[in-house]
């Protein structure tokens, strides 16, 4: 028996040595590519020896700055550390994560790897009980989107030390992926363009545009502070273009467009300030707030409990806590619970980032905050049919484009409120429409839309269509050519007379008469939640008895009462920055 055991051990060692000597890769460096969120390739270079993946370089990517950074930092490291393709995607950067993994997979396939073996699931990690870490600052901010970062910067400028807790692996929230239009009455920019505007007009359109359900004092605070807050952002380096435009559902030309794409300029501006003052502003990502605590004797909000990657955090706010966690546009259960206006929203996609799940509402309820207007959920008629996002939208402004249905017919005033346009779209076949415009919007194929995509790229990717005649365009998008020509002719006639047309449209500029002509497909998508935490003009949170909750503030889409039943396009960016700035200043002054 002893002899048999010795033979078996010898054979085992031989087989083990043979296995260890197995060549897994052909040594060298290999490139791989896969389309990212905008349809443009993420290109990687993967270096291997016979046994291991040694290095992964990102050679090219045109993903959204800020939003995708965590994916490019974490995914390659996870693949190398685990020597596996079975790695988790990064929350909030799913498309970028999948593109990196797919590109690395292609490169490894070229290296002769066993892709099936590399893609097998990971073993379950050991459960480790996290220790509790106690932190302390004057102000604790929950959420690192536009409102939270604005609040943090404002609090610091007013003398406070700050802790920011962000559940996602990156900052930016919905702001960084937004269309970024910022409404403000701005005579310096508007008057040279012949645009007449006033604070009173902005107030009236906001109030009436929300069916007079918004709090007038909050609306007044918004419209009066929009321009000063824009100047505050500019003082920190934020840049806007000189022109003014009318954003979808904005009702008037008062929207400012940042120089940088999407909402990256807002987030970069605020983060530049925070990074320069990191000695007194602590930013923690991957850290989800789970509880807010009051002092049992004074009723003042004093601390926040959060779960971090390595520990449980107890963050003490010696002066105040600010909730700036965004809305719940990406929480299907909450949408279904509160929706009283729309057909079922269960299968409707959203423009929102994955973290927009209403966390702040539950936190605020823990300390008795009042929640208002939760049934007011905004949909846009502008979602990408595949993803629900605003990317790929070919419109540049309201005045120079029309909407047509699958028959090629117009069906609504394209300058109306967002809810009006979306309800009309739900009445069309398959809830589907085409945006139609011409070269007035895209004089060259390199002209970009509001999401940093060129029209040439969109056409090449099949996300937009281009033709030299309306008949050819109609054939490409499969609509009746006579209907499409009649729709354009009706629009052009209204442009000549200055409107209104048969739909009541009053916003016009150029005719659609200069080829090439373009079309892009759109469908309804969940965009904004107008309801939320009740606040006053000082951004203080109000409880269910109508009283201020000491030491608790809120700002941004997590709040309710400003926009009523419908938010005007272009009012979100001033909302989050105006009330974020107010919340930060007042929290620091506690």
Active-site residue set: 418
> 82 in helix, strand or coil?
helix
Using CA atoms of 418, 419, 420, 422 in order, give the dihedral in degrees to the nearest 10: 90
How far apart CA 575 and CA 147 sit, in angstroms, is: 8
Among residues 66, 65, 58, which one has the least CA distance to residue 99?
58
Using CA atoms of 270, 272, 278, 280 in order, give the dihedral in degrees to the nearest 10: -40
Among residues 218, 216, 551, which one has the least CA distance to residue 364?
551
Among residues 264, 198, 268, 247, which one has the least CA distance to residue 226?
198
8 A C-beta contact, residue 327 and residue 304: no
How many CB atoms are closer than 10 A to CB 424?
19
How far apart CA 36 and CA 96 sit, in angstroms, is: 5
Q: Which residues pair with 321 in a beta bridge?
A: 140, 552
Measure the CA angle with vertex 69, ends 67 and 72; round to 5°. 130
DSSP track, 29-64: EEEEEEE-TTSPEEEEEEEE-SS-EEEEEEEE--PP
As separate numbers, helices (DSSP H) first and strands (DSSP E) second, the chain gives: 16, 22
Distant-in-sequence, close-in-space partners of 386: CB < 8 Å, separation ≥ 6: none
How far apart CA 186 and CA 189 sit, in angstroms, is: 6
Instruction: Give the max Cα distance, the chain.
Output: 105
8 A C-beta contact, residue 166 and residue 250: no
8 A C-beta contact, residue 479 and residue 402: no
Helix (H) or strand (E) holding 228: helix 216-235
How far apart CA 555 and CA 559 sit, in angstroms, is: 6
**Beta strands 540-542; 548-554: pairing state:** antiparallel
Helix (H) or strand (E) holding 202: helix 199-209
Total residues belonging to the chain: 590
The tokens describing 217, both together, are 């004092």
Q: Which residues pair with 533 in a beta bridge?
A: 371, 559
DSSP track, 240-288: EEEEEEPPTT--SS-EEEESSSTTHHHHHHHHHHHHHTTTTEEEESS-E
**With helix as H, strand as E and coil as C, how does 379-403 read?**
EEEEECCCCCCCCCCCCCCCCCCEE
DSSP track, 345-365: -TT--BSS-TT-S-HHHHHHH
């Amino acid at each position: 028996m002893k002899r048999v055991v010795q033979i078996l051990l010898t054979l085992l060692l031989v087989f083990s040595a043979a296995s260890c000597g197995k060549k897994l890769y052909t040594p060298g460096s290999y490139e791989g590519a896969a389309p990212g969120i905008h349809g443009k390739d993420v290109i990687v270079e993967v270096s291997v020896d016979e046994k291991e993946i040694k290095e992964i370089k990102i050679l090219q990517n045109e993903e959204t700055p800020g939003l995708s950074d965590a994916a490019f930092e974490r995914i390659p490291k996870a693949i190398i550390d685990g020597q596996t393709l079975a790695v988790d995607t990064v929350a909030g950067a799913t498309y970028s994560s999948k593109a990196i993994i797919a590109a690395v997979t292609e490169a490894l396939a070229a290296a002769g790897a066993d892709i099936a073996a590399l893609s097998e699931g990971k073993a379950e990690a050991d459960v480790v009980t996290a220790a509790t870490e106690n932190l302390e600052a004057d102000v604790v901010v929950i959420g690192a989107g536009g409102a939270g970062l604005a609040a943090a910067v404002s609090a610091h400028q007013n003398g406070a030390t700050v802790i920011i807790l962000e559940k996602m692996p990156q900052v930016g929230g919905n702001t960084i992926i937004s269309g970024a239009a910022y409404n403000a009455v701005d005579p310096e920019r508007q008057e040279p363009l012949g645009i007449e505007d006033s604070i009173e007009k902005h107030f009236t359109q906001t109030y009436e545009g929300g069916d007079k359900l918004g709090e007038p004092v909050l609306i007044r605070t918004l419209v009066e502070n929009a321009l000063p807050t824009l100047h505050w952002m500019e003082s920190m380096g934020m840049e806007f273009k000189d022109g003014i435009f009318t954003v979808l559902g904005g009702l008037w030309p008062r929207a400012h467009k940042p120089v940088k794409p999407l909402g990256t300029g807002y987030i970069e501006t605020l983060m530049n300030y925070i990074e320069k003052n990191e000695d007194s502003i602590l930013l923690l990502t991957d850290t989800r707030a789970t509880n807010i605590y009051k002092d049992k004797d004074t009723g003042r909000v004093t601390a926040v409990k959060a779960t971090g990657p390595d520990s449980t955090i107890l963050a003490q706010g010696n002066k105040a806590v600010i909730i700036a966690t965004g809305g719940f546009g990406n929480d299907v259960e909450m949408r279904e619970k509160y929706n009283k206006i729309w057909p079922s929203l269960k299968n409707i996609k959203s423009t929102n980032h994955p973290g927009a799940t209403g966390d702040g509402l539950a936190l605020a309820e823990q300390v008795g905050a009042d929640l208002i207007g939760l049934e007011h959920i905004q949909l846009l008629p502008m979602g990408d049919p595949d993803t629900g996002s605003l990317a790929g939208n070919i419109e540049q402004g309201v005045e120079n484009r029309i909407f047509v249905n699958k028959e090629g017919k117009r069906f609504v005033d394209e300058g109306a409120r967002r809810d009006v346009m979306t309800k009309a779209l739900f009445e069309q076949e398959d809830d589907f429409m085409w945006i139609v415009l011409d070269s007035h919007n895209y004089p060259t194929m390199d002209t970009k839309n509001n999401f940093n995509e060129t029209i040439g790229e969109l056409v090449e990717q099949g996300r937009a269509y281009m033709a030299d005649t309306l008949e050819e365009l109609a054939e490409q998008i499969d609509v009746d050519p006579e209907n499409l020509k009649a729709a354009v002719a009706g629009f052009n006639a209204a442009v000549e007379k200055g409107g209104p047309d048969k739909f009541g449209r009053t916003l016009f500029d150029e005719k659609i008469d200069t080829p090439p002509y373009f079309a892009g497909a759109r469908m309804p998508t969940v965009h904004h939640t107008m309801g939320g935490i009740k606040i006053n003009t000082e951004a203080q949170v109000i409880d269910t008895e109508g009283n201020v909750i000491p030491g608790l503030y809120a700002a941004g889409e997590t709040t309710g009462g400003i926009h009523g039943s419908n938010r005007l396009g272009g009012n979100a960016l001033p909302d989050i920055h105006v009330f974020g700035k107010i919340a930060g200043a007042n929290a620091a002054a506690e």
